[in-house]
Structure 1
Amino acid sequence: MDIARIDYLFRIFITALAVIFGGIQFFLSERNIWIDAFFVISMAGVVGYYTNFLAIKMLFQPKKGKVLGWEGLVPKNKANIAKSLGESIQNNLLAPEIILDYV
């Protein structure tokens, strides 16, 4: 099973879990501490998962062009990121002084 399929199934599972516990909590006449706890935990999982999912999508996609006026931050700034990464490696990893210290 590939990671995309696992991710898709997890999204369905966590969302269904929150809906089920929310429905149980709504229709129960008396409060149940366990149902409340599972509802809060499942909702926290849903909110946390989808905010992380959205953040990753906003960073990396779309890879080509703009969709609704938005271009992924990493593809948009790839030249600056590459330059900064190259300078950092040159100064902090491959500097002659550092190499001589290890030799």
Structure 2
Amino acid sequence: MSDDSTQTPQAGADTGRLPGDRGEPLTILIDDVPVGCFAGETVAVALLADGVREFSRRGGEPRMPLCNMGTCFECGVVIDGVPLVRSCLTVVADGMTVRTSRS
């Protein structure tokens, strides 16, 4: 669960999340920074809601989700030490570590 350094995420225009029913608040680490998200969200949603616009780099070019159905691998990140995990298909888990090309 979230520690005191992380605030519970909220829905609304300023957060990148639409209002609606949410799962339990969770905390994941994105590039060693605690980030609040909700159970049931994908890692890609958590990254985008946190303002990440570069998930990885290939051929020197920044990459982020394109197809959102796991076909293109453009959303690949390192999750819990496993490289090239498709963030658009992976559901967040409390304490999960995510590394983007920013780290």
TM over 0.5: no
Which of 1 and 2 has higher RCO (CA within 8 Å, sep 6+)? Answer: 2
Determine which structure has the larger strand proportion and give its number: 2
Determine which structure has the larger helix proportion and give its number: 1
Larger radius of gyration: 1
Q: TM-score, normalised by structure 1?
A: 0.18
Q: TM-score, normalised by structure 2?
A: 0.18
